[in-house]
Amino acid sequence: MKTFTFKAVILLFLLFSPTYVHAQLPKITFAPQWLPQAQFAGYYVAQEKGFYKEAGIEVEIVHPSANIQATALLSSGKADLISLFLITGMSAKNQGLDIVNIAQISQHSAILFVTKKFSGIDKLGKLDGKKIGIWKSGFDEVPKALMKEKSLNVEWVPILSTVNLFMMDGIDAMTVMWYNEYNNIINCGVNEDELNVFPVAEYGYDIPEDGLYCLKSTYEKRKPELLKFLEATLKGWDYAAANKTIAIDMVLERMKQAHIPANRVHQEWMLDKVLEMIMISDKKTKRGELLESDFLKAAGILDNSTKSKWKYTFAEFYKPLDR
């Protein structure tokens, strides 16, 4: 009888101990599409502040490298959920990766072409015949589509993650993100009035960027868990917006762990600009929603740039979790 009672006590201890409960939470491995930075602050906050665990899920965040895309982590099973630009996700699906968009976090494009004023390239058309730096790890669909539409013959020069080649005049122009590389150039000592910028949004290419993607099979099997992830993530972004100093502290720690040089002022700039694209006020949509009009605009751009037949509908691509 004593032995039975002892075993029962041990069993009850295991069942209700924090370690056992923690081990039983369903796990989601999430891969943002780039290296650690303030672009992903909301996810770090949701993890560090315990929002994911409060929602009933365990979340691991893994980052790709500068030359490996998040889609590779998803297709290999190393990630359950990833973030991608809308047009990147659509292109991947058209190429055979059976993914779906479950939420559109960002609602605008932050892509710019940038040149130095002394180059004389003060109009988009003057990029014809020039060398343009572009990211090696993806995110190139929109810039290339715009150049093709304008019938501009340019030489694309792959770059990893720095602005060094642009600073040394090894290229004539560079594709940059408003919240990232553009500010890196300014931080290198170039004044804003020494630059020409060409936002792709001003040329009809305002395609939403960061969205959440998973395999269709994951959506079908784990929809309740994915909804918990989304709700906790939005809570993380709200907290980051209201507590920017704390959020940046978390970002800098992630960058330190990944051995990435970190500049607090730059990360603060990035967080502010990213929040502008998330906390929308100029668009008739709710948070996390992908508009069919944005999908169709992106589809048209891809159709014109790749000449490939479109293989799926909006309903097949976008799977909102609240329906």
Whole-number Å distance between alpha carbons of 137 and 8: 55
DSSP annotation string for 194-224: GEEEEEGGGGT-----EEEEEEHHHHHHHHH
Architecture of the CATH domain 111-203? 3-Layer(aba) Sandwich (3.40)
| Total residue length of the chain | 323
Whole-number Å distance between alpha carbons of 23 and 34: 28
Per-residue confidence of the chain (323 residues) as pLDDT tens digits? 444 454 444 444 444 455 444 458 999 999 999 999 999 999 999 999 999 999 999 999 999 987 788 999 999 999 999 999 999 999 999 999 999 999 999 999 999 999 999 999 999 999 999 999 998 766 788 999 999 999 999 999 999 778 999 999 999 999 999 999 999 999 999 999 999 999 999 999 999 999 999 999 999 999 999 999 999 999 999 999 999 999 999 999 999 999 999 999 999 999 999 999 998 777 788 899 999 999 999 998 888 777 667 789 999 999 999 87
In sequence order, the 6+-apart residues with CB closer than 8 A to the CB of 198 are 112, 113, 114, 115, 124
Q: Which fold has domain 27-108+208-317?
A: D-Maltodextrin-Binding Protein; domain 2 (3.40.190)
Output phi, psi for 211, to 5 deg.
-135, 170
Within 13 Å and on the Cβ side, how many CA atoms surround 175? 27
pTM score: 0.87
Whole-number Å distance between alpha carbons of 165 and 11: 62
Domain ranges, ordered by start, for the chain? 27-108+208-317, 111-203
Query: Which amino acid is located at 275 in the chain?
Result: L
* Cα 221 to chain centroid, rounded: 24
